[in-house]
Amino acid sequence: MPEVDSMSSGGRDERHLTKVFKALSDNTRQEILRLLESHQRTVGEIVGNFNLSQPTISRHLSVLKEADLVIDQRQGQNVIYRLNDEALSTSMREFFGQFRSCQESLR
């Protein structure tokens, strides 16, 4: 038996794809990505769309940033976040490539 378990769950050495899915496995963070899909926004603008405190949103943003799904950029006293389109589609393709049924969905 192969022992495919090169790095199992606990091991805090984590595949990038897993980090991406962790980032996506929260309603709020998914919502944030959808907001940023239309156009970039400041942290304050994002906060305004939720019933959550600013620090909470800030931490969600840092999770998304860790997963490379968003890009931040300081502009004056604001910080502007935008979607990292390339990374998102790259991750998607990387995952899809592993499953026949998903490969069929790629062009």
Hey, what are 60's tokens? 């969600």
Given the complex with DNA, which of 5 and 104 has the nearer CB atom?
5
d(CA 17, CA 93): 11
Hey, what are 65's tokens? 């940033």
Among 33, 43, 71, 80, binds a second copy (CB under 8 A): 33
User: What residues between 64 and 103 interact with a second copy by CB under 8 A?
Assistant: 83, 85-86, 88-89, 92-93, 95-96, 98-102
73 binds DNA (CB under 7 A): no
3 binds a second copy (CB under 8 A): yes
| Binding partner at 82 among a second copy, DNA, none, C-beta below 5 to 8 Å by kind | none
What is the bridge-based pairing of β-strands 70-75 and 78-83? antiparallel
Q: Return the range that interacts with DNA (CB under 7 A); candidates 32-40, 56-64, 90-98, 99-107.
A: 56-64
Given the complex with DNA, which of 57 and 88 has the nearer CB atom?
57
H or E element: which one contains 59?
A: helix 54-66
Return the residue matching tokens 């994002």: 46
Q: First and final CA of the chain: distance in angstroms? A: 35
104 binds a second copy (CB under 8 A): yes
